[in-house]
Structure 1
Amino acid sequence: GSKRRRAKITGRERKAMRVLPVVVGAFLVCWTPFFVVHITRALCPACAVPPQLVSAVTWLGYVNSALNPLIYT
């Protein structure tokens, strides 16, 4: 009973240890461009950032939300 429960918890923890880096990696890949573009716009008003780029990086951030269910299953 107790041994089996410990093994099950260990299995869950092992899965979490595999999933967490993927979740963090996906988050960084999807949201870093968004923040780079918006920080650039804030700090460099003279820099021309095309509206299409702003839209693309915003959608890339949204893609992160779509990836999460796929990553967790």
Structure 2
Amino acid sequence: MRIVTELRHYMEKYGFYVSTRMADRLGMRARNVRITFIYFTFATLGAGFAVYLVIAFWLRIKDLIYVKRSSVFDL
């Protein structure tokens, strides 16, 4: 049980934050979003994992494009 907890904490700290960001956006708990992804993955034989990776890639690209740059006058 300790290994599962450590793995969960590692993924929450260094993961893509897809579940957390979606939960914040939808006003839900991140745990419920993660469980939904898990159920969706089992029900569709892996398509949920593919959707998760697409969303993670999309959020990463969005973060790279919409980075708030400091102004020259802020220096």
Q: TM-score, with normalisation over the residues of structure 2?
A: 0.33
Give the number of the structure whose residues are more often helix, by fraction.
Answer: 1
Q: For the pair shown, which has the larger CA radius of gyration, 1 or 2?
A: 1
Higher relative contact order (CA 8 A, sep 6+): 1
